[in-house]
């Protein structure tokens, strides 16, 4: 399935110029949905179905990959945009800020130590790389 950041992040380049950014991950495998009946059955028998499916996929030597895109908005644009760009319920129109391809995110193995490699590191806003900063996004 595809993934999207609901949060707005700030990227700051080497010239100290700030830009607002939204992340998008588009699956390379395509999208295949369960039927309503299948989803109903799985919700009562195996609520971890999607996690197990990914785990088994990787355990069998396959990979899962997504193409990563960003939408980039100059900080000045954000100050006067037609809606609150920090509102997690809003989507930036692609016509205003088109998707820019950045690279790939590839999962090629399951963690050896789930707690250490997954739970402990978490996707916490406190774990940001240099050049990526939090914004006034109230949820972030």
Looking at residue 121, what is its pLDDT? 65
Banded model confidence at residue 140, pLDDT cuts 50, 70, 90: confident
Query: Over the stretch 61-108, which tens digit does the pLDDT of each residue have?
Result: 999 999 999 999 999 999 999 999 999 999 999 999 999 999 999 999
**Is residue 57 pLDDT above 80, yes or no?**
yes
Residue boundaries of the structural domains of the chain = 3-133
* CA–CA dist 106, 58 (Å, integer): 11
Contact 101, 68 (CB under 8 A): yes
Sign (positive or negative) of CA dihedral 122, 125, 128, 132? positive
DSSP string, 22-66: EEEEEESS---PPPHHHHHHHHHH-TTHHHHHHHHHHHTT--EEE
Fold for 3-133, please state it.
Answer: Catalase HpII,  Chain A, domain 1 (2.40.180)
Mean pLDDT (whole number) for 24-41: 94
Mean pLDDT calculated for residue range 101-130: 83
Collapsing DSSP to helix, strand or coil, 118 comes out as helix
Output 95 or 32, whichever has higher pLDDT: 95
Percent above pLDDT 90 for the chain: 74
Amino acid 128: pLDDT: 79
The whole-angstrom separation of Cα 8 and Cα 86 is 6
Beta-carbon count within 10 A of 137 CB: 19
Residue 19 reports pLDDT greater than 80 = yes
The dihedral built from the CA positions of residue 77, 83, 87 and 89, taken in this order, carries a sign that is negative
pLDDT at 118: 79
Helix or strand or coil: residue 127? coil
Average pLDDT of every residue of the chain:
91
Q: How confident is the model at residue 82, as a pLDDT?
A: 96
pLDDT higher than 90, residue 122 = no
């Amino acid at each position: 399935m595809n993934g999207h950041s609901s949060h707005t992040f700030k990227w700051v380049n080497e010239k100290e110029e700030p830009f607002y950014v939204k992340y998008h991950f588009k699956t390379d495998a395509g999208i295949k949905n369960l039927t309503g009946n299948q989803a109903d059955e799985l919700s009562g028998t195996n609520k971890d179905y999607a996690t197990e499916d990914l785990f088994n996929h990787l355990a069998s030597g396959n990979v899962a990959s997504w193409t990563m895109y960003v939408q980039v908005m100059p900080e000045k644009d954000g100050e006067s945009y037609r809606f609150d760009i920090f509102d997690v319920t809003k989507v930036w129109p692609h016509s205003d800020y088109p998707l820019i391809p950045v690279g790939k995110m590839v999962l090629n193995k399951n963690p050896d130590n789930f707690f250490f490699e997954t739970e402990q590191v978490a996707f916490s806003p406190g774990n940001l790389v240099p050049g990526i900063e939090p914004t006034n996004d109230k949820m972030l």
